[in-house]
Amino acid sequence: MLTANVQTGRVVAKLRTGSANINEILPPLNKALSLHPSNVDVASLRISLLYNVFQQTKDAQWLTEASNSLARIEEKEHHLREANEYRYEWNLKDKPEEALAYVEKQLKEYPWDITVYERAIELHKAFADNAGSGGKTAERDNHVDAAMKLYHTVLERKRLMDAVPKSIAISIDFGVTPGIASNIGQLEFAKKDYKAAADTLRSALSDKLDNPENRIVARWYLAALAKQGASDQAWMDKLLAKDPGEKEQIEKIVQSS
């Protein structure tokens, strides 16, 4: 193991200089893995480097090699989350169905990880939007229902956490995130349930409007209010102070529904 760590250390040192190329980096990693094939840290570093090269060059051989390396890790570590993360990232763009299958599996394995709920809800919304655009009403509704079910699971789990006595320390950060609120609020808006949309989005409002996700939440919140003939001038002022163009964005949302 010591020799493998030395080889990995050399790779890291080369990366820090910013002058190394893939042909210089791979041999030490390959040697480290030949000495300790089950070293997950070394294998993960190798996969990450291969995938980065693929992203830069678009040469499929690097993605193939990264995928083969990942398969070898999975043979030894069936529940290695780091390995599964690569599968998710790779599938998200070209194979979204497989990405969704992955996060649904993750929901069972990590029921208290809010990131998994965020991803699942976001994917279900994307599938719902796509199905709706194609006139596939039943498919759209199935994905909307799935997203809403996950949302209510998050709310219920949050209630369970809040019921735990304060004397018991809980280190889990779990609750409705801006990403979840944004996607659920937009789904409720699409169903013309503007009050529910406004309530959902209001729960995730944040003054940190440098974050694009927070601006989206505020934008849809104000649009949902406008559809009810209501307004929130304080939040409108905050959003327009950040970007005056938001007024036009809100008007487009209101007029499109």
pLDDT digits (tens, 9 = 90+) for 152-193: 999 999 999 988 888 887 788 899 999 999 999 999 999 999
Ranges assigned E (strand) in the chain: none
Q: Please, which pLDDT band fits residue 49 given cuts at 50, 70 and 90?
A: confident
For residue range 63-109, list pLDDT tens digits in order.
Answer: 888 888 888 877 776 666 666 677 777 777 778 898 899 899 889 98
Percentage of residues in the chain having pLDDT higher than 70: 89
Give the C-alpha distances (Å, rounded to integers) separating 172 from 106, 113, 208, 255. 17, 8, 22, 41
Query: Where do we find the tokens 């830069």?
Result: 56
Q: Which of 57, 50, 52 is nearest to 72 (CA)?
A: 50
pLDDT at residue 69, rounded to an integer: 83
With contact defined as beta carbons under 8 Å apart, do 43 and 72 qualify?
yes
Contacts of 45 (CB under 8 A, 6+ apart): 8, 11, 29
Query: Where do we find the tokens 């018991």?
Result: 168
Helix (H) or strand (E) holding 206: none
Report d(CA 177, CA 33) in Å as an integer: 39
Mean pLDDT is lowest, of 26-35, 112-121, 197-206, for: 26-35
On average, the pLDDT of the chain sits at 85
* Prediction pTM value: 0.77
